[in-house]
Structure 1
Amino acid sequence: MPAIQYPEEPLKTDMSKTPTPIPHEVALELNRNPAQWGGSTIVVGAYGRAVAPYTIEEAFRAARVTVEGLPEGFRIHDLRHYYASLLIAAGLDIKTVQARLRHASAKTTVDTYGHLGPDKDESARAAVSVAFADRPATRADHLRTSASATS
């Protein structure tokens, strides 16, 4: 779990220090560099030293021209947005997404990622449709059924 930001800056909030639950295979992948070079730095250069954010951005610029499908302005921060969209698409509630992104307020999460939720118009239509189909039969329904049976 990161304890500092580059270069030796404290994390912004105490919430930033809390662990993020990740699957075992992701933990193993993230541990490859620390295991190879010793220490706790995840992103390292050729000799196991921490790299500057500029170096990472340069690598992303290079990837944009070689990796098919990456948007022209793709940057490392977009991985955070991808993570949020992945959680939302998987159906996690907004409070869980808020906690994983370390937002102080769910309002920030909703304002930033609310458009990624399922189609609310279609969900609302479906909910009303189910309620309508499950309603008890009314006298008008019986009269309509009787009238159509006699015609």
Structure 2
Amino acid sequence: MQLSALRPSHVRSWTARLRQDGLADSYVYALHGRLSQIMADAVHDGIISRSPCSRRTSPGQGSQRPYVATTDQVWALHDAMPERYRAAILLGAFVGLRTAEVCGLRVADVDFMRGIVHPAVQYPAEVLKTETSRTPIPIPTSLALELSAHVQAGYSGETLLTDDNGAQVGPWKFERAMRKARSKVQDLPAGFRFHDLRHYLASLLIASGADVKIVQARLRRASAKTTLDTYSHLWPHSDESTRAAIDAVLVARTELRQNQAGAAR
């Protein structure tokens, strides 16, 4: 079809057919988003006057919750990896780096003294596109020491991760090692990805009392809404906290009135 012939009804039929074919809601949503980008560019270039994609044609993201590994599973995965790749598990679970970012991370991007990771490039050496993705990430001294030990063990070159030949590790090679390691971890889903370690980090921060803005900042997400949509079920249930807040005000009021009555007598 020519772009000018595409109508909203065609887009809705297309996304409905994708769902009928068994594609996940989140994947259909992502495909619609990519089509929307293409059509927006076509409008900008004057090829069409308006885009057939809008919120009305959007299929919705779906409500599937991310799998959150336990701490024991994270350490089991770490120990199951080849020694030269174990630092990557630490960077995924405690720094929140993505696969391409881990494979592209240079030794110079880690400030071992101050405890800061500076994501700057993704594999092979492509500059990260957004300012948010380049946000420096503070790390504790214990993690900085682990990463320093990784370098001192000879597992690094210019990049923090290298293969047995000292060359930069590509995402495909690292993911192959991940698949082998995850099969050795009890109860870890077969589809568990390195990216899912970011969910573990989010759960760790939430359990420590971090609010949505802190979690958003540490995961380097552009939107707090996306963070809430993904992890809202991990925050503690608010019933008791709201009861306590209201109760405190009412109790204080009652005590004040009792004190005033006592003073009047």
Equivalent residue in structure 1 for 2:167, among 15, 28, 49 = 49
Number of the residue aligned with 1:80: 198
> In structure 1, what residue type is equivalent to 2:142?
E
Question: Which secondary structure state, in structure 2, belongs to the residue aligned with residue 14 of structure 1?
Answer: coil
Number of the residue aligned with 1:144: none
Distance 1:132 1:71, change over 3 A: farther
Alignment TM-score, normalising by the size of structure 1: 0.77
Distance 1:45 1:32, change over 3 A: farther
- Provide the rounded CA distance (Å) in 1 between the counterparts of 2:208 and 2:151: 30
Q: Percent identity?
A: 54
Mean Cα deviation higher: 60-69 or 25-34: 25-34
Question: Which secondary structure state, in structure 2, belongs to the residue aligned with residue 39 of structure 1?
Answer: coil
Number of the residue aligned with 2:177: 59
Number of the residue aligned with 1:25: 142
CA contact (8 A) 2:156 2:162 kept: no
Number of the residue aligned with 2:151: 34
> In structure 2, what residue type is equivalent to 1:67?
V
Number of the residue aligned with 2:37: none
- Structure 1 residues without counterparts, runs of 5 or longer: 140-151
Distance 1:18 1:75, change over 3 A: same
Note the C-alpha offset of 1:8: 1.8
Equivalent residue in structure 2 for 1:94, among 180, 187, 212 = 212
Note the C-alpha offset of 1:131: 4.4
Note the C-alpha offset of 1:89: 0.8
CA contact (8 A) 2:155 2:161 kept: no
Number of the residue aligned with 1:16: 133
CA displacement 1:34-70 (0-9 Å, x = unmatched) = 3325534222222332211112211221122212232
Number of the residue aligned with 1:112: 230
Alignment TM-score, normalising by the size of structure 2: 0.47
> In structure 2, what residue type is equivalent to 1:11?
L
CA contact (8 A) 1:33 1:44 kept: no
CA contact (8 A) 1:31 1:42 kept: no
- Structure 2 residues without counterparts, runs of 5 or longer: 1-108, 110-118, 259-265
Number of the residue aligned with 2:122: 5
Question: Which secondary structure state, in structure 1, belongs to the residue aligned with residue 144 of structure 2?
Answer: helix
Number of the residue aligned with 2:189: 71
> In structure 2, what residue type is equivalent to 1:31?
S
Q: Stretches of 4+ moved more than 4 A in 1?
A: 129-135
CA contact (8 A) 1:43 1:51 kept: yes
Note the C-alpha offset of 1:33: 3.8
Residue 121 (structure 1) aligned with residue 251 (structure 2): no
- Provide the rounded CA distance (Å) in 2 between the counterparts of 1:131 and 1:40: 59
Distance 1:40 1:85, change over 3 A: farther
Question: Which secondary structure state, in structure 1, belongs to the residue aligned with residue 159 of structure 2?
Answer: coil
Note the C-alpha offset of 1:121: 2.7
Distance 1:64 1:89, change over 3 A: same
- Provide the rounded CA distance (Å) in 2 between the counterparts of 1:90 and 1:102: 18
- Provide the rounded CA distance (Å) in 2 between the counterparts of 1:41 and 1:10: 14
